[in-house]
Amino acid sequence: MALRLDGIAVAASIKADLKSRVAELAERGVHPGLGTLLVGDDPASSRYVAGKHRDCEEVGIRSLRRNLPADADADRIKAEVLAFNEDPACTGFIVQLPLPDGVDANAIIDCIDPAKDADGMHPYNLGELVLHPKGELRTPMPCTPRGVIELLRSYDIDLAGRRVCVLGRGITIGRTVGLMLTRNDVNATVTLCHTGTADMQRHLREAEVIIAATGRAGIVTADDVAPDAVLVDVGVSRVKDPVSGKWRIVGDVDPAARAKAFAYTPNPGGVGPMTRAMLLKNVVEIAERSNT
């Protein structure tokens, strides 16, 4: 039976460690704070932001919330970003995406102080990741790729020398996870597949680890998976159950593929909780670095 990589349990262990570290910072008069900027009232974004603040309460990190209406223009959004940059109570913050139509998300991200970039997605921090494949990084790292790697490590899955196939070239993980997987402390060999890849199934079958992040339900089938592969399911799709008529969350990996795998991440319950835990970890590390 394939090993189930429980992101909820591992995230809970990480948060317990962070709670201890936050308490140590408090003894020195340092109180980490996570800020969120939510524009509009998209239900999924609202739930996600609310979950981040519940995580903060669990760990002892202060929550700083800024909400704007859906018709807020770029100048108003930038003003809130700059306010977070200047707020001493804010250790790190995120701008929840997507932003309203017509607002350039990259231009907004560019306004974030890189030292307060809790998501690790500012161009400066991504540049540091590109420039420093060795040694300790003293800048925030992208949360989802970091969560994937820490989840695998928690189950003693060594990626050194392993062939990893990444599906999808989105900035959240597809384009960034390769940077982290090829750092010297991980040392994996990465193939990135996307809509322009010829014979994608061949790359999948040759992979020892598959990281699927396309948002296309069940795109990775049992026929695409080599025996004893590790399946990391990052993609999220909402599908309607033909019997109940209710919507449910499914991943990129067809559940039938798990029977051939050595290990797999459930979806939901795998990478998602790890991403949220890494957001908290980035904030705590920012606080620790700024007070050493």
Q: What is the mean pLDDT of residues 155-170?
A: 97
Q: What is the mean pLDDT of residues 52-63?
A: 96
Task: Tell me the per-residue pLDDT of 13-28, one tens digit each, with 9 for 90 and over.
Answer: 999 999 999 999 999 9
Active-site annotation holds for 116: no
pLDDT for 184 equals 97
- pLDDT > 70 fraction of the chain, expressed in percent and rounded: 100
Task: Tell me the per-residue pLDDT of 251-269, one tens digit each, with 9 for 90 and over.
Answer: 999 999 999 999 999 999 9
pLDDT band of residue 42 (cuts 50, 70, 90) is: confident
Active-site annotation holds for 119: yes
> 96, 252, 254, 281: which one is catalytic?
96
Q: What is the mean pLDDT of residues 19-39?
A: 97
Q: Out of 26-35, 62-71, 204-213, 237-246, which region has the weakest mean confidence (pLDDT)? A: 237-246
pLDDT band of residue 242 (cuts 50, 70, 90) is: confident
Residue 77 has pLDDT above 80, yes or no: yes
pLDDT for 152 equals 98
- Give a three-class secondary structure readout of the chain: CCEECCHHHHHHHHHHHHHHHHHHHHHCCCCCEEEEEEECCCHHHHHHHHHHHHHHHHHCCEEEEEEECCCCCHHHHHHHHHHHHHCCCCCEEEECCCCCCCCCHHHHHHCCCHHHECCCCCHHHHHHHHHCCCCCCCCCCCHHHHHHHHHHHHCCCCCCCCEEEEECCCCCCCCCHHHHHCCCCCCCEEEEECCCCCCHHHHHHHCCEEEECCCCCCCECHHHCCCCCEEEECCCEEEECCCCCCEEEECCECHHHHHHCCEECCCCCCHHHHHHHHHHHHHHHHHHHCCC
Task: Tell me the per-residue pLDDT of 96-108, one tens digit each, with 9 for 90 and over.
Answer: 999 999 999 999 9
pLDDT band of residue 246 (cuts 50, 70, 90) is: confident
| Spatial contact of 274 and 7, defined as CB atoms under 8 Å apart | yes
Residue 292 has pLDDT above 80, yes or no: no
> 15, 52, 116, 281: which one is catalytic?
52
pLDDT for 291 equals 81
> 55, 117, 119, 252: which one is catalytic?
119
Active-site annotation holds for 96: yes
